[in-house]
Amino acid sequence: MTRLRVTFLGPLGSFSHQAAAESFCKGSADLQPQVSFPDAFAALQKKEADYAVIPCENSTNGSVVQTLDLLADRDGLYKDVKVCGEYYLTVHHCLMVRKGTYPGGWAGYDGSITKLYTHPQAWGQCETFLTKYFKGVERQDVTSTSKAAEIVSKETTERGAAIASRFAAEQHGTDVLVENIEDRADNTTRFLIFRNVLDERTAQLNLEQPSPPTSEDEATLEATHKTLITFTVDHSSPGALANALLIFKAHGLNLTSISTRPSLKKPWQYIFIVECGRTPSDENKGAVDKALNDLRQVSETCRDLGTWKNQLSASNA
């Protein structure tokens, strides 16, 4: 079998790149950056990629709306794309500089950095550290933390530093001065791993996390399966949404999250994106199929977006 092709939102060194690299065994996959989420989904639909690793939710900021819109798939562009796994990435930020700028490291730092680079969201995530050590220092917004690392890696005229991940530092060959400068130690992004269900190359990997977490994580994992389903209901019919949600409970599927996006067919009508979980047992065998059958009776449209193994462990919960 040829090497797996795994696609993600670039640039190289992005958190998506890191999640893709950590989800698949090093060296076993070709990692292919894309310029947008729709491009990653399109590559999968056209079977130009085997997997896509896409952020869907951050523990601090909530849902990634662009990803919800891809799941809603209003125009039916990605009808063969389904979720087959998930990956939790804890967001750690580092302060980094061009290689060799401070041979003594942070201990010997003389206060000479004059400019900081990072993505706008990262400033707020490192406020305590920045207030303590870099009060008043000029801040330059850039399009990604990885881009910030790239800029300082090529810096020659001024003393610049970037806030980015250790992964980005390795990609761009910068020196990390300080690690874990973020305010919240538990800021985590959940990525969904997608495949094309018609792709026979990856069929045998279905429901399996391509690269399993470490054994200590595994011990604390709840052996649950998660399922993603989207549906629309007739909004003029009172109780339609409640009736649809009742079906999950009736089949032993535990509702864990509900998101909504505008249908764009008519204002104030929504596509519901529901995630549910179950611990597989003899009683709930086939529960997802039965729930989908019932849902089709009470919904206007309804779609199964895949089932995969829970990877949320005590260490990232």
- Interacting residue ranges for a second copy, rule: CB under 8 A: 58-63, 65, 186, 188, 190, 235, 238-239, 241-243, 245-246, 248-249, 254-262, 264, 266-268, 270, 272, 312, 316-317
In the block, residue with structure tokens 């990604």: 144
164, 117 in Cβ contact below 8 A?
no
Task: Please say which residue, 35 or 258, places its beta carbon nearer to a second copy.
Answer: 258
Task: Please say which residue, 84 or 276, places its beta carbon nearer to a second copy.
Answer: 276
Locate all alpha helices (DSSP H) within the chain, ordered by sequence.
Answer: 15-23, 37-45, 65-72, 120-125, 127-133, 145-153, 166-172, 215-220, 240-250, 287-298
Amino acid at 31: L
Task: Please say which residue, 28 or 121, places its beta carbon nearer to a second copy.
Answer: 121
Report, in Å, the least distance between residue 261 CB and a second copy: 6
Over its C-alpha atoms, the chain yields an Rg (Å, rounded) of 22
Task: Please say which residue, 58 or 211, places its beta carbon nearer to a second copy.
Answer: 58
Report, in Å, the least distance between residue 57 CB and a second copy: 8
53 dihedral zone (left: phi>0; alpha: psi -120 to 50; beta): beta
Report, in Å, the least distance between residue 133 CB and a second copy: 25
Instruction: Give the SS3 label for residue 277.
Output: strand
Task: Please say which residue, 211 or 316, places its beta carbon nearer to a second copy.
Answer: 316
Closest CA to 132 of 184, 181, 60: 181
Task: Please say which residue, 172 or 226, places its beta carbon nearer to a second copy.
Answer: 226
Closest CA to 272 of 286, 258, 290, 291: 258
In the block, residue with structure tokens 């500089």: 97
Report, in Å, the least distance between residue 285 CB and a second copy: 17
Report, in Å, the least distance between residue 292 CB and a second copy: 17
Locate all alpha helices (DSSP H) within 46-144, ordered by sequence.
Answer: 65-72, 120-125, 127-133
Tokens (6 digits) for 20: 């893709």
Q: Count the neighbouring beta carbons within 10 Å of the beta carbon of residue 142.
A: 18
**Phi/psi at 214 (nearest 5 deg)?**
-65, 160
Task: Please say which residue, 179 or 183, places its beta carbon nearer to a second copy.
Answer: 183
Report, in Å, the least distance between residue 86 CB and a second copy: 11
CA angle 44, 42, 194 (to 5 degrees): 40
Task: Please say which residue, 62 or 103, places its beta carbon nearer to a second copy.
Answer: 62
Report, in Å, the least distance between residue 218 CB and a second copy: 18
Report, in Å, the least distance between residue 240 CB and a second copy: 8
Report, in Å, the least distance between residue 300 CB and a second copy: 15
220 dihedral zone (left: phi>0; alpha: psi -120 to 50; beta): alpha
Task: Please say which residue, 206 or 310, places its beta carbon nearer to a second copy.
Answer: 310
